[in-house]
Structure 1
Amino acid sequence: MIIAYDAGAFQQSISGGIFNVSVGFLNAAARIAPDVEFVFVADPFFGEVRPEAMAALTFTPRIIYRSVLKPAGSFPLLTDKERVRFEIDGEAKRTTATATSDGLWHHYEGATPRHAMYLCSRQSRPCDTLNLPDSRNLGVAFDKIVIEWEKGSQEYSFDDARFVKGYHHAEAAWRWTDGRAEIPFELFPRADRIRIGVHIRQKLRYRLADGRFDRRFDAVARAAAEQRRASNLNLLGRELREMGATVYFANHFIPIAIPGLALASWAHDVIPILFPNFFGKDAVENFTNVVDVFKRADHIFCNSDTTRNDVIDNVGVAAERLTTTWIGPGAIGPRPSSTVDAALSKFLLRRNYILNVGTLEPRKNHLRLVQAYDEFRRSVDDAPMLVIVGSHGWGYDELMRLIANRGLSEHVKVLSGVDNEDLSALYSGAMFVAYPSVYEGFGMPVLEALACGVPVLTSQETSMQDIAQNAAVLVDPLSVSSIANGLFSLTTDSALRARLAANAPKAASRFDWDRVAGTIIDVLKGMRR
């Protein structure tokens, strides 16, 4: 049997989540069903499959590249030219631009402003031009302003409190304007002529006016893209059928139906439907393609009963077309004390820490966790450090500001780019794992903690409590006090931690990739179009 498989996860710069699910299933399928061959379907939009991702597989699949993704959203006319200019005493002034290794200098040289000066540029909402749920009007992101005159010079950092009118809050390394930001008059020296330089760091795409031409362009571009896509799908279907493929297994990244092949799909969650505020406009629109696949699929495999019920209730798929297979553990597992010590030394950590793992974005509830940690640590002596591991998502800057504003920089450590070996060591050395996510279809960090024999604090919501069973303290993820109380209980009660840790291996043993793959392969072998 030959199965065509969505290869999008192997083209992305990710190391967890959907990628680990694919690796676990594919390797288990190759182990228990050697008569089954997988052919990867990849869309060039995501680039080449990554060698380091493919190295996680125990076999080498054939790969077909084809542009088959459904166009999402619109085709707005965009530019990355910020059109920076200065407005001095009501008059627009041109700037000169000089590139640097980390940005661009814009300079004005001439008469000193007498009344007011503004840094002007295009402005745009990231949610309209990028896959971010950020509705702020952003102009340019600068990190410093330098003013020079005959007798001296002065540099002003982006976080100077005098930058108020036309500025957003300072972020980690820059400050966004709103497209028309006042350079305070008090900064200027008493000199006839000055030279002002603004160093721009962060790039943004700007949406041009939504006029009649834009709408015509959008319609023509969309029709042409859909025609090309339909042709590519037909060609792909013919190639796969000639190879002997009978089923296409859609995943999150390339949710399509291929002509002539039966359609199966993973269902990881339907969170973009339930909580669209956690996602960018493009992500919500793209998820409509996933929903379309759910509706058209011959069979859907769900990672939990929570996801299965959500698909039934929110997509309208008949229950008999869905199977809860659960999923197995990823590449995370227990590590010996020596490996733990090496990881702690590498990341400058000390023993006795609380671990949190998850992409740094609002759905993972980092803000409430840090607030709860701040509340909890004031009630105990020598509170353990909170170590947060995750790639930077939207909302990362807000998290870092909260840590700084609460004076927690020495107590909360944020790590990114941690590989599976080091992450396994960090799990293994933790007092416990805190994962009070607002909502999860599955909640892999809970299973990873259990697999490492570590007790868990997690949410009394959705699948997380089903995974943890009697190896966790459950809290209300929307209550800072509830999370703080859970942190206090697990930190101060060593007997509780020991009891939960003893229960962890049995709870984790219920999740096995060979069993999951066997269930899925049995269904796929019976599917024909």
Structure 2
Amino acid sequence: MDHWHTDPSGLLTGKARRRAGSLIPRLIRRRRARQGFEERLMHGTNYFLPVQAEKGVITVHDLSIYLHPETHPSERIRDFEKNFERSLDRATHVITDSEATRRDLITHLSYPAAKVSTVHLGVSERFRPQARAMLDRDLLRLFGRPVGDYILSVATFEPRKRIEAAILAHAHYCDRTGHDIPLVLVGAKGWANDRLHALIEDEQRKGRLLMLGFVDDADLPAIYAGARLFLYPSIYEGFGLPPIEAMACGIPTIVSNRSCLPEVTRGAAMMIDPDDVDRLSAGIERALNDDIWRDGAMRAGLAVGAHYSWARCIEQTVDVYRLCNDLIA
């Protein structure tokens, strides 16, 4: 059996993107073989339809390149502008990862509302609470910290993720309280972050920040599940999968009050203005020490994590295929 069938998250990860062009048509073929559909629909899973496709479905993950162009490399903007509108013009229907991105597409690009559907992403069943003894063993092997002895942030190091705000707020918390629980950073290097890396190096010298960089997917569930708190102060997301993965592991979570994050976290996370470092720092203190809030956040987060499944994501995606099949029949 194909790996995507048991864990469809591979369709949306960097490792699988090179194969996505063959996997999605295979999914369509299997579904339509059972339902008597003809093969005539192309799905561009990452913004663009192939040039040879006259029509089809595209998935738009976010519109940060239009709404926050300052957070993207200029060459990416040029390439995107050249190809994206061509795909929109040919699209029979558009899928967005969140209702917030759907509204952005309709509002900012004047795209017809009837041609856009929201399909939330799913969370792999690998992300769940884990037994303490096994976690301690894995975490000590990975980076030498026991369970509950670090704060975690997982994100590509790019400007809109506001990793700098997380580091500064954590540093203020440590300076103010004298408690040096380390901040662990996981994610690819990204771009436009010379200042960020200087800040990281300074905090590493003080012994209160651990930079893991890119880690193997197999190790991520343990790293999430062993954290005491998860931080995600991004100013713009199409869905924001990392905080949902953290909550699915039973970890109290702080997110930005921007973009789709209030929508997808469904009231289970503490929401903070990412541009207010002092308030974010105070939020960290509360999230670490307020046991009543922590217990409620853990219970609510587990329910949110259970709400998002890849099976539901696939079924809703196929519903869009059916709609398009009716429209182009």
SS in 2 for 1:457: strand
Match of 1:508 in 2: 305
Q: Larger C-alpha radius of gyration, 1 or 2?
A: 1
Counterparts of 2:56 and 2:29 in 1: how far apart (Å)?
20
Question: Which deviations, in whole Å up to 9, do the C-alpha atoms of 1:364-387 show, x marking residues without a partner?
Answer: 111111111111111224332100
Describe the superposition over 1:98-128 as per-residue Cα deviations: whole angstroms up to 9, x where unpaired.
Answer: xxxxxxxxxxxxxxxxxxxxxxxxxxxxxxx
Query: 2:144 aligns to what?
Result: 348
CA contact (8 A) 2:42 2:53 kept: no
Contact (CA 8 Å) 1:457, 1:473: kept in 2 or not? yes
How far apart, CA to CA, are the structure 2 residues paired with 1:354 and 1:431? Answer: 6
TM-score under structure 2 length normalisation: 0.84
Q: Match of 1:418? A: 215
> 1:362-441, aligned counterparts within 5 Å?
362-405=159-202, 409-441=206-238
Match of 2:91 among 277, 297, 321: 297
Partners in 2 of 1:467 and 1:367 — Cα distance? 23
Query: SS in structure 2 opposite 1:323?
Result: strand
CA offsets 1:483-512 (integer angstroms, 9 cap, x no match): 111111111212211110011121122212
Deviations 1:317-351 (A, max 9, x none): 10000011111114641233244223321212243
Task: List aligned pairs for 1:301-320, cutoff 5 A.
Answer: 301-320=95-114
Q: Is the 8 A contact 2:32 2:39 kept in 1?
A: no
Provide the C-alpha distance between the structure 2 equivalents of 1:512 and 1:12, rounded to a whole number of angstroms.
13
Q: Tell whether the 8 Å contact from 1:456 to 1:468 is kept in structure 2 after alignment.
A: no
Is 1:354–1:431's contact at 8 Å kept on the other side of the alignment? yes
Distance in structure 1 (CA, Å) of the matches to 2:260 and 2:11: 28
Letter in 1 for 2:254: L
Quick one: which amino acid aligns to residue 340 of structure 1?
L
CA positional deviation for 1:403: 2.7
The secondary structure found in structure 2 opposite 1:527 is helix
Per the alignment, residue 65 of structure 2 pairs with: 272
**SS of 1:376 mapped into structure 2:** helix
Q: Distance in 1 between matches of 2:284 and 2:134?
A: 26
Q: How far 1:473 sits from its partner (Å)?
A: 1.0
Distance 1:253 1:326 in 2: 16
CA change 1:19–1:426 in 2 (3 A) is farther
Partner of 1:337: 132
Aligned length: 308
State the partner residue of 1:14. Answer: 14
Structure-1-length-normalised TM-score: 0.54
Name the CA shift for 1:472/1:13 in 2 (closer, same or farther; >3 Å).
closer
Partner residue, 2:293: 496
Q: Which runs of 5+ in 2 are unaligned?
A: 1-8
Other-structure match for 1:258: 52
* Residue type of the alignment partner of 1:343: D
Does structure 1 residue 451 correspond to structure 2 residue 245? no
- Quick one: distance in 2 between partners of 1:327 and 1:33? 22
More strand by share: 1
Paired with 1:306 and 1:282, the residues of 2 have a C-alpha distance of: 26
**SS across alignment from 2:260:** helix
CA distance in 1, matches of 2:117, 2:305: 20
Q: Where does 1:188-267 land on structure 2 (aligned, <5 Å)?
A: 245-252=39-46, 254-260=48-54, 262-267=55-60
Distance 1:332 1:380 in 2: 35
Deviations 1:74-105 (A, max 9, x none): xxxxxxxxxxxxxxxxxxxxxxxxxxxxxxxx
- Quote the Cα distance in structure 2 between the aligned partners of 1:344 and 1:275: 36
Name 1:284's counterpart in structure 2: 77
Higher helix share: 2
CA distance in 2, matches of 1:259, 1:33: 17
Contact 2:186–2:211 at 8 Å: present in 1 too? yes
Q: Given that residues 146 and 226 in structure 2 are in contact (C-alpha distance below 8 angstroms), is that contact kept between their aligned partners in structure 1?
A: no
Mapping 1:104-143, distance limit 5 Å? none
Q: In structure 1, how many angstroms separate the alpha carbons of the residues matched to 2:123 and 2:230?
A: 16
- 1:460 deviates by 0.7
- Could you say if the C-alpha distance between residues 410 and 324 of structure 1 is closer, same or farther in structure 2, counting changes exceeding 3 Å? same
> Match of 2:76, as an amino acid?
A
- 1:264 offset after TM fit, Å? 0.3
**Identity, % of aligned positions:** 25
Unaligned 5+ residue runs, structure 1? 1-8, 38-243
Indicate if the aligned counterparts of 1:331 and 1:420 stay in contact, CA closer than 8 A. no
